[in-house]
């Protein structure tokens, strides 16, 4: 189970006790925000994309989406999300629990600057009912992620 792989990695770093598990799903931004009692923007959602023969992850604030022009300019390719089967096979985490921790070798992690406006954010930790509260500095340290600017705000829905 991928949450156990993340727990083992976090135990080595001394932060496993900070992991949160919920009796309800936190598989989407909305569900995670409700489970945590916080705003959706502070949910650090992890998106998985094909990258050559492998994959890469982009972690972004919950109120943003990939800006295709920025993504292509930064990575030299069109953003194509992994299928659910490939997400599990290539990251070791199922959709809803994909996170930037305990990844197979070679999976690159990128952190979108949209999260830097918050003192802390909440990424998943390997299951569809888990999270951890981290500062952006901690998120970068524990994920090995590189900061990028590849997202834009999600347009509000008109009533």
| DSSP characters over 17-58 | GG-EE-SS---SHHHHHHHHTS-GGGEEEEEEEEETTEEEEE
pLDDT for the residue numbered 155:
74
Would strands 108-112 and 146-148 be described as parallel, antiparallel, or unpaired? parallel
In sign, the C-alpha dihedral spanning 88, 94, 96, 102 is negative
- For the entire predicted model, the pTM comes to 0.94
Domain architecture of the chain: domains with CATH:
2-152 (3.90.960.10)
How confident is the model at residue 150, as a pLDDT? 98
Residue 60: closest CA among 153, 155, 132: 153
DSSP 149: -
Q: How far apart are the first and last CA of the chain?
A: 41
Q: Are 64 and 50 in contact (CB under 8 A)?
A: no
Query: What is the CB neighbour count within 10 angstroms for residue 122?
Result: 25
Q: Which of 142, 149, 69, 75 is nearest to 113 (CA)?
A: 149
DSSP E strands, 37-158: 43-51, 54-61, 64-66, 108-112, 122-123, 130-131, 146-148, 151-153
- In the chain (159 residues long), the average pLDDT of successive 10-residue segments reads 92 97 95 96 97 96 97 97 96 94 96 98 96 98 98 77
Contacts of 59 (CB under 8 A, 6+ apart): 44, 45, 46, 47, 100, 109, 110, 111, 112, 115, 123, 139, 143, 145
pLDDT of 12: 96
pLDDT at 41: 97
């Amino acid at each position: 189970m991928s949450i156990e792989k993340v727990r083992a990695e976090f135990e080595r770093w001394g932060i496993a006790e900070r992991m949160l598990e919920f009796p309800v799903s936190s598989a989407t931004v909305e569900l995670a925000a409700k489970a945590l009692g916080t705003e959706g923007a502070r949910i650090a959602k992890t998106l998985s994309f094909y990258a050559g023969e492998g994959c890469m992850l982009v972690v972004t604030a919950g109120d943003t989406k990939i800006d295709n022009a920025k993504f292509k300019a930064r990575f030299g390719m069109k953003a194509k999300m992994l299928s659910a089967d490939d997400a599990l096979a290539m990251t070791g985490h199922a959709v809803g629990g994909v996170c930037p921790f305990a990844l197979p070798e070679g999976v690159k992690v990128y952190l979108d600057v949209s999260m830097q406006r918050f003192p802390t954010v909440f990424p998943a930790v390997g299951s569809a009912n888990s999270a951890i509260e981290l500062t952006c500095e901690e998120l970068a340290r524990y994920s090995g992620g590189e900061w990028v600017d590849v997202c834009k705000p999600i347009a509000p829905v008109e009533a």
